[in-house]
Structure 1
Amino acid sequence: MQSLKKLLCLVLFTLVSIISVSCSSDNSYVSNARNSKTTQAETSTISLMTSWGGVDSKAGCLMDLLDRFENGNPSIKVSNQSIFGDEYLPTLKTRFASGNEPDVFGLWPCSDIKYMIMANKLADLTDMLTKDSEWMDSFKGNYFDLTTYNNRIYGIPFELVFEGMFINKDLFQQFNVKIPQNYEELKNAINIFNKHNITPIAYNATAEGSYIYQNMIASLGGNDGVENYMVNNQINKCYIDAMKYMKELHKMHAFPTDLISITSEERNNLFIKKQAAMIVQGSWFAAYFGKFDKTVEMIPFPSMGNGNRKIPAGLGGGTFYISKSAWGTPNSKENTVKLLKFLTSKETSDYLYKESGLFSTLNISRETPFNALAKQSIDIYENTPEQDRCAIPDHVIDRSTWEKIIVKEFPDYLDDKISAEQIWEKALDKLQ
């Protein structure tokens, strides 16, 4: 009987223990769930959209930077919605049109920014910058002029970009080709590379591919010609003449035979893999090459006339804006500003310069560039006199018009199906 009592006590003790443990677990679960809900409620998400996505040279850097930002700001999450290539601007515009705009985004100054301002879609940063003089004074020069409309500042001018011709110097040396300083020498180089079955110039019929045409415009017209694109209600002559030079090069077989179908990545790879001798690209292109690679150099585009060689320059995709819809509450305003200050800080500038060759407008000294090519190309830009730097044509011409008419019609122009004058008549009709 005594044994039975002991057994019953043991069973009862075991049941009580199981129930106690179960209740303890349930309470812990409820507590954790509540904590999780509290954490989620306290965490705000900022949507960020830039052209630094996909295979862009700064894509990995951006992801790393955002991890750092989130670690330093655990109550803020950033949804990185960046897109690489020619689809970036159309996608951004579609999102604004549908009311699904990102909170913070990057875009070079262009007519589309003006439309967003006119539609009351962008946050006015003037008062905030005026009160935070330390932040505003960290930028050099007058770059805020490029993000100012009607005396109000809407963008942070962080990334400086410039364009020129990149050459595979080893191919020039191998085939004893003179590095071209002018148009005649460029044609001579094209003829020699064709004889050796090397594509002379990597080019394709895309917006980015049109950099060669834009450099020709800049060389022929200088800054005045680029910016004053209308003369007596007609397109400036430098825009027409540059097209005719492009056709001459096309007839010389300067470009890939499949220029209509190849992608921008394929075009770049023709040059990177030494299948093409030259390419006209932006300063960011330097990041695609090894740290100590000295087989590639950047030069100003060969002079198309009697003047000096020109370098088109301006602000790049790292010009940041805040959508007005992102400032719905004081908390969201504070968080988006915090992200923007991080993205345009000295620390971010140093990191991007070292890791991707990004050249910022910050008033700081730069000691360790990403690679030899970044250093060489930046030296070219800085040693170019101010009068030989000019605006980038597709920053002046309405970008939608540029892409949907100029770029789209270019293959037909090269194949003699439409004239340069006819293309620009269509463009001017849309512009007006």
Structure 2
Amino acid sequence: MCGGHDSKAGPNTAGKEGAMRFVLATLGSAGDVFPMVALGRGLAARGHAVWLLVNGHFEAIVRGEGLGFLPLGSAADYEAAMRDPRLWDARRGFEFVVEGGMLPALPAAWDALAAFDPADTVLVASGLVFAARVAQEARGFRLATVHLQPSMFRSVHDTPVYDQLPLGPRTPRWLKRLAFAALDALLIDRLIAPTLNAFRARQGLSSPVRSVFGGWMHSPELVLGLFPDWFAAPQPDWPVATRLTGFVRYDAAAMTPPDAALEAFLAAGPAPLAFTAGSAMRQGGDFFRAAVAACARLGRRGLLLSGEPDALPPLPDTVFAVRYAPFSTLFPRCAAVVHHGGVGTAAQALAAGVPQLVTPMTHDQPDNASRLARLGVAASLPFSAVTAGVLAEALSGLLARPTLAERCRDCARRVDFDAGLACALDAIEALAAC
């Protein structure tokens, strides 16, 4: 039972046969939380009681959608992490996320889950919420591990692009296996395993785990990849319980009031080039300055999506800035989208049928950029290489491709957010019925 939590926060399931309780948990920014909100809304619409275990920064959105809210860190913690430049450092970013996010969340998430009964509660969690996996092992919770991006699935076949491992398609499989083993020993397990195994031992799990990312983090019951097989095809060495659902979407469109100034700008001229460095980026000043200058060089209108308006340069009449706008309604009205490579932003741009210039920094972004380029809808350049001239040249070359429009239209036809959500919900409900 959920003693100690606000039972009114979840929907009333009284009288609905088969109704269950679900706790959805994730770490990270809006790109990580919004897909969980989509799943939570869907489960609630099917009559289940749903709680989201996420950072306090997202409390208003979660409660606004009628879902139960469980805090996993404070809004102040979130803002401090987003402002730390180590978050986007290719060499230090993973260590920062582990030591500043994953490991501190372990006892906090465990305590939140302690109030729930595994007999009537199913966990749906990011693989980075280690407490959910430990709760499955120690307490018998049913668990669906959720991965938003293909890079969370290791493979020696179609190997994702990783900052730490320069493995190409011609790299022998034996060498890839050796590289993954070295990555575990020298970085991932070195950072995570001592704390994780000590915590597991306190819960009565005496056998230590190795290869945390290579195997343990994936639930043996169900692993959901929230992307379609044409974005990343299943590989023979993925977890056997993996199911790809297709993309899901949530961008708070219903909770975002109309922006009259934005609407006036969009209606006043040709479709602009949209620029975003992601909701979590707090060091985007140089990027946006380069964007403004690139628009001037190209003779194009520009739209800047930035949560840090004070960091923006003075804007000409041909460039408009906004803190936030739902991508589902905005991107179809843009000529192209220049973005960081987050999988949620990429999916929205694919659905809108617009070209993409991806400027990846680290984490999953380089792999997402590579997959978009393979689809023929995007070009890519490192975030660190962005200047006005480089941006202008890359955009000019991208938009001049003769097959670009056709490739974008083809991908747009293939994106079905409703089908992706339904597939994910069906799989989660099937797990709950076991």
TM-score of the two chains, using structure 2 as the length reference: 0.31
Higher helix share: 1
Greater RCO, 1 or 2 (C-alpha within 8 Å, sep 6+)? 1
Q: Which has the larger radius of gyration?
A: 1
TM-score w.r.t. the length of structure 1 is: 0.31
